[in-house]
Structure 1
């Protein structure tokens, strides 16, 4: 059996960082192109970013507000990766494939809930 190595294994130092950065950009561009949920969440992130800098909150509160929205994007990307791998393996309906996709969706849902609770708490404490 021939051993396959990652494309990263052949790169080191600055070349590896450049390659990783390129893959990051490619992943974000592809998510923008094919993932409707990612586009929606990115819009919410941009609006939240603007509000976070306009609101009279502390630096830590601002970081928290932005951080939870960024976390939603991160978990959405992981969920999309899980869905892509499941679909790559087989488009056939299977209980384990359903579980994998449902678990990813649940992770996104819980992260959105965390973001909503965080924003609600910060705004309530600041303005009520």
Structure 2
């Protein structure tokens, strides 16, 4: 079977697409149930996204304001996945486990800084 044929077959596999969507919804539900930081960031996005849509003067600014917030959620989900994986392997403290968790936390921190910088620069440009 050629590459093009496989691409066409994959695109038409509606069952796989539905299953993938179901897994994604399950992941979001788990994060909302189990991760306090994710819940806090969802509240932040719920409040700030409409504000970003209103404050942005054009599509690009709206994308920057809202997209930077969504990026925080994405990074938080990845951080939570790293933490769950590390905890699944062992609850015992290990230097590499601590490093993995710290790096995930640093990624969330940088995404928050990026969101704050994006909002500051866009809003500063207007006022």
TM-score by length of 1: 0.88
Q: Which residue of 2 aligns with 1:27?
A: 27
Q: Which residue of 2 aligns with 1:3?
A: none
How many residues align? The count is: 116
- Runs of 5+ consecutive residues of structure 1 not aligned to the other structure: 1-11
Alpha-carbon distance change, 52 to 82 in structure 1, aligned in 2, over 3 angstroms = same
Q: Which residue of 2 aligns with 1:124?
A: 124
* Deviation larger for 75-84 or 55-64: 55-64
- Runs of 5+ consecutive residues of structure 2 not aligned to the other structure: 1-11
Q: Which residue of 1 aligns with 2:7?
A: none
Alpha-carbon distance change, 74 to 56 in structure 1, aligned in 2, over 3 angstroms = closer
1:63 and 1:56 map into 2 onto residues whose CA distance is 8
Runs ≥4 residues deviating over 4 A: none
RMSD in angstroms over aligned alpha carbons? 1.0
2:77 corresponds to 1:77: yes
TM-score by length of 2: 0.89
